[in-house]
Amino acid sequence: VQLQASGGGLVQAGGSLRLSCAASGRTLSNYVMGWFRQAPGKEREFVAAVRWSAGSTYYTDSVKGRFTISRDRTKNMVYLLLSSLKPEDTAVYYCAAAPRLIASMMRVPSSYDGWGQGTQVTVSS
């Protein structure tokens, strides 16, 4: 599966951004689509995931209530709405795809076999 992420930018603390991820190359019916982020000097961390067919969503604790992941099956798109942004949300955000993941493995980057190129999100204080 090929992924293309977009939508990053510079935003003030408290603001919002919507990231988009276009998927192509195969049927996603059994896939989990995830968003990860990586700040300078830090490891890549899980942000959110959604099951393509069922629409079930999963979030890391630090973004619950602020970020919303969604998918549009007609357009093969995955979105991440970032709200109430904080300076610590600054990172490169990556979308990723994995077939048939159990929930406990969604947070593990090596579980995903398709990655987008990343989009920079910078939150100023």
Asked which of 2-6, 25-29, 69-73, 96-100 is least confident by mean pLDDT, the reply is 25-29
Rounded distance between C-alpha atoms, residue 21 and residue 116, angstroms: 8
pLDDT at res. 117:
94
Is the pLDDT at 125 greater than 90, yes or no?
Answer: yes
Count of residues making up the chain: 125
Question: Six-digit token pair at 27?
Answer: 């049927």
Question: Six-digit token pair at 75?
Answer: 């357009």
Give the tens place of pLDDT for each residue, 1-16. Answer: 999 999 999 999 999 9
Give the tens place of pLDDT for each residue, 95-111. Answer: 999 998 999 999 999 99
Is the pLDDT at 26 greater than 90, yes or no?
Answer: no
- Tokens 């019916």 -> residue: 29
Relative to beta strand 9-12, strand 2-6 is unpaired
Question: Six-digit token pair at 91?
Answer: 């990172």
pLDDT at res. 27:
86
Average pLDDT over residues 61-88: 97
